[in-house]
Amino acid sequence: MKLKEVESGFSIIAEEEFSLSGKALAELIQATLAKGAGFRLKVKGFSMFPFIRDGDVITISNLPDSSMNFGRISAFFDSQTGKLVMHRIVGKNNGGYLIKGDNTFKADRLICKENILGYVNRIERNNKAVFLSLGWERLLIAFFSKTRVLYLVTRLSRLLPLSIRNALKSII
C-alpha cells in the first residue's frame, strides 16, 4: 500500500485489493475523520440503489451536528451484523435516528448519534462524480425511502423491458 497526499488529507492506494472487517474499517474511518480528512472507499451491495450502486466509490466526511437531518446518507457500524453500513436518515425518535436503505423493505433499528461515523458527501461512478442530492430533494427522497416507495419502484422496474431499463440507468 502507498499513501498519497491529496487536498483533504491522505488517500490509501492499494496495489492489490484487500478487505477489512466492519469493525476494523469503522475504527479506521473514525481515526481518519478525527484528523479532519475524508475517507474514500469502494462500496459493495445494493441497499442504496439507485443512488449508490455496487462498486461506486464514496467519500465519508465528519458529521457536524447541523448535518444530522433527514435525507443525509450516513455511515455507521452495525454491531449486530458486524458490518459498516451506509443508509439514509429517514426519521428521529427519542434521541436516535431511524436509518434505512433506499432499496430495502425494512428500516434499520434506531441508531444513536454516537454510533454514526459520518456522512456520505461524494459518490463517484466510473471515475466521475455522481450528483448527490443535498438540497431540498433529499427530504423527498427520504420520505419515499421511509414509505417504501423507492423499494417498490426498484422492484417494479425489473418488469420493464431491458431497453427501457438501460435508458433509465443512463439518466440516473
Domains of the chain: 2-171 (2.10.109.10)
Residue whose cell numbers read 498519497: 4
- 82, exposed or middle or buried, with CB in 10 Å at 0-12, 13-18, 19+? exposed
The three grid cell numbers given for residue 11, joined into one nine-digit string: 488517500
The predicted pLDDT at position 2 comes to: 40
pLDDT at 118 over 70: yes
Instruction: Name the residue among 106, 84, 81, 109 with its Cα closest to residue 94.
Output: 109
SS3 at position 82: coil
Q: Are 16 and 78 in contact (CB under 8 A)?
A: no
Q: Are 127 and 56 in contact (CB under 8 A)?
A: no
pLDDT at 71 over 70: yes
The predicted pLDDT at position 172 comes to: 55
The predicted pLDDT at position 51 comes to: 85
Banded pLDDT at 169 (limits 50, 70, 90):
low
Backbone angles phi, psi at 126, to 5 degrees: 55, 45
pLDDT at 81 over 50: yes
The predicted pLDDT at position 3 comes to: 41
Q: What mean pLDDT value characterizes the chain?
A: 78
- 43-61 pLDDT, tens digit per residue, is 888 898 888 889 999 999 9
Residue with the larger pLDDT of the pair 166 and 151: 151
- 77, exposed or middle or buried, with CB in 10 Å at 0-12, 13-18, 19+? buried
The predicted pLDDT at position 57 comes to: 92
The predicted pLDDT at position 5 comes to: 43
Banded pLDDT at 4 (limits 50, 70, 90):
very low
Residue with the larger pLDDT of the pair 101 and 165: 101
Q: Which residues pair with 39 in a beta bridge?
A: 60
| Cα gap 34→166, rounded to integer Å | 41
